[in-house]
Amino acid sequence: MEYKNDDVAVFVDNVSIHFNMSSERITSLKEYFIKLVKRQLFYKKFIALENVNIKIKKGQVYGIVGLNGSGKSTLLKVICGILKPTYGEVFVKGKISPLIELGAGFNMELTARENIFLNGAVLGYSKKFMNEKFDEIVEFSEMEKFLDVPMKNYSSGMVARVAFSVATVVKPDILIVDEILSVGDFRFQEKCNERIKEMMKGKTTVILVSHQMEQIEKMCDNVLWLDHGHVKMVGKTREVCEVYKNS
Amino acid sequence: MVKKYIQNFIKYTPLLFLLTSRDFKLKYRRSFLGVLWSMLNPLLIMVVVTSVFSVLLKVKASDIGMPFAVFYITGSLIFNFFSEATSSSMTAVVSNASLIQKVYLPKYIFIFEKCAFSLINMLLSAIAVLFVLLYYVIKGEVTVHITIFLIFIPMFLTFLFSIGVGLILSTLTVFFRDIVHIWGVILTIWLYLTPIVYPIEILKSSKIDWVVRLNPLYYFVDDLRSLMVLGEFPCLDHLLIEGVVCFFVLVFGVFLFKKAQDKFILHI
């Protein structure tokens, strides 16, 4: 009920995610029935997240740290609505723009122009909106010359430029950033950082996952430390980072 | 609740259009005749099948009420659509795994898209059918009636039926990839149980007559022929059977898909 509070942007309420990890993956019908009859359908339960509670206020820059496999990306996927929690609920207020995987939905056979519109639609933007913003996207990516070249001929850096430009064209209410600030060459990285900082200054809530502690310390107000799916510590950036680094 | 679904659907309609046009562009990219192939292909196959079967089966035009070429191409119009739509929707979820794992999207969009793309292909092939019809009208072997304007009814019903089947198949495929292999066999059986190269009257005395009459595609094909060539309005019990079948397959498909879709991500 605390969610009704107006200044909360993301409220993760006691969320747990459990996966059934069968020792081997069963993808054929025959196998399934044989195992069913033999009563060998055992699953190992894998706990990806356990009783995670977070409240992120509007306009906050919220960092998530933890070792590989601690559940950071799973948590982001739950917030985005890609994964449904096994238990608990997630409330999100406002439009989310996920910068989780850049260029999801790019088809390399198509040209950049076609891909920009396709990617915009994947993110749920209207056609009119994309028409308005098209020039801005192209300008930011600096790919004017190669607009009508199939993207399979692009270098990975060029693909990343286009992808970042599409994904950040709106000023979303909630921006989710997962280790993507290492996009393209250093000049473009600066440009990306500029753009993200600009969003942070505004009313956008930012959730940032990074292994670069410097970045977290510089940008975040609050930090959550995840360890094997459990919340180890939440609090002010400096306090959490100190304990985390010394652990 | 329902309003929320509709709003969500409207939000993602541009995606539906773009995915369809993507498929369209990719299908004809770098082919010299491009979209013409959608019309040329059924015509060429019709010529082959007609020349083979007019020797083998010796179906008389008087038995089926129309020239064999017309009989075949109208039947295959419906069946090819069904076969293409279901086969491509079957893998729609699995093959878009990279997208589904990274961005939130209503997943049924992918099945809709495949069926819509197949529908466009059917409409293009229908132009070829009209040319064949025109040829026989000029030859004086066929007369066209006003009912031809109603051919969208069996087409649309087949479309609904295919979406239902597509939803069911795509769900099953996520959990059991066997479906992909077996579906080709099922489609072949289905093809021979649908009166496309033979008139249903041939089966009157045989044991599998009732099997064919259980086949929803038989009704769609039959209605298309009567509207397009014979100038008869489909009888009421046909329409009733079609409506009920479409409704139940669609509802079952939506139910199954909705129930399973949250687990997709763990299996793709």
- Each domain of chain A, given as residue ranges in start order, spans 2-95+209-246, 101-204
- Tell me if A109 and B18 make a contact (CB, 8 A cut-off): no
- Please provide the average confidence, as pLDDT, over all residues in chain B: 90
In this predicted structure, what is the pLDDT of residue B154?
94
Q: Is the pLDDT of residue A237 over 90?
A: no
Q: Distance (Å) from the C-alpha of residue B116 to the closest C-alpha of chain A?
A: 17
**pLDDT tens by residue, A132-155:** 999 999 998 888 889 999 888 988
Among A24, A25, A27, A134, pick the best mutation site for testing chain B contact (most B Cβ within 10 A): A27
Q: Which residues of B touch A126 (CB under 8 A)?
A: 11, 14
Question: What is the domain range of residue B130?
Answer: 2-267
Q: How confident is the model at residue A4 (pLDDT cuts 50, 70, 90)?
A: low
Pick the more confident residue, A179 or A234: A234
- Tell me if B104 and A107 make a contact (CB, 8 A cut-off): no
Mean local confidence (pLDDT), B242-257: 95
Total domain count, chain B: 1
A106 near B14, Cβ under 8 Å?
Answer: no
Q: Distance (Å) from the C-alpha of residue A77 to the closest C-alpha of chain B?
A: 8
B238 close contact with A: CB closer than 8 A? no
- Tell me if A126 and B14 make a contact (CB, 8 A cut-off): yes
Mean local confidence (pLDDT), A25-33: 71
Q: Is the pLDDT of residue A1 over 60?
A: no
Among the residue ranges A36-40, A216-220, B234-238, B257-261, the one predicted with the least confidence is: A36-40
* Full DSSP string of A59-81: T-EEEEE--TTSSHHHHHHHHHT
Which residues are CB-neighbours of A235 under 8 A, at least 6 positions away? A222, A223
Q: Which two tokens stand for residue A32?
A: 């399934």
Q: Which residues of A touch B26 (CB under 8 A)?
A: 107, 109-110
CA distances to A134, A135, A170 from A160, in Å: 17, 17, 17
**pLDDT tens by residue, B138-193:** 998 888 889 999 999 999 999 999 999 999 999 999 998 889 999 999 999 999 99
Say how many C-beta atoms besides its own lie within 10 A of residue A61's C-beta. 24
- Tell me if B22 and A107 make a contact (CB, 8 A cut-off): yes
Among B26, B105, B181, pick the best mutation site for testing chain A contact (most A Cβ within 10 A): B105
- Distance (Å, rounded) from C-alpha B256 to C-alpha B259? 5
Q: Is the pLDDT of residue A23 over 70?
A: no
CA distances to A144, B113, B154 from B46, in Å: 47, 28, 21
Quote the percentage of chain B above a pLDDT of 90. Answer: 54
**pLDDT tens by residue, A31-48:** 777 777 776 666 677 888
- Please provide the average confidence, as pLDDT, over all residues in chain A: 82
* Domain A101-204 falls under CATH 3.40.50.300: yes
**Predicted ipTM > 0.90:** no
Q: Which two tokens stand for residue B222?
A: 């039959």
Beta strands A230-236 and A222-227: pairing type?
antiparallel
- Tell me if B103 and A123 make a contact (CB, 8 A cut-off): yes
Which CATH number is A2-95+209-246 given?
Answer: 3.40.50.300
**Pick from B252, B87, B250, B101: nearest CA to B170:** B87
* Range picked from A56-65, B2-11, B69-78 for highest mean pLDDT: B69-78
Q: Is the pLDDT of residue A98 over 90?
A: no
Quote the percentage of chain B above a pLDDT of 70. Answer: 100
A6 near A41, Cβ under 8 Å?
Answer: no
Q: Is the pLDDT of residue A29 over 80?
A: no
A8 near A56, Cβ under 8 Å?
Answer: yes
Among B104, B113, B264, pick the best mutation site for testing chain A contact (most A Cβ within 10 A): B104
Helical segments of chain B, H only: 2-11, 13-28, 37-56, 61-64, 68-90, 92-95, 97-100, 108-139, 152-175, 178-192, 209-214, 216-225, 236-267
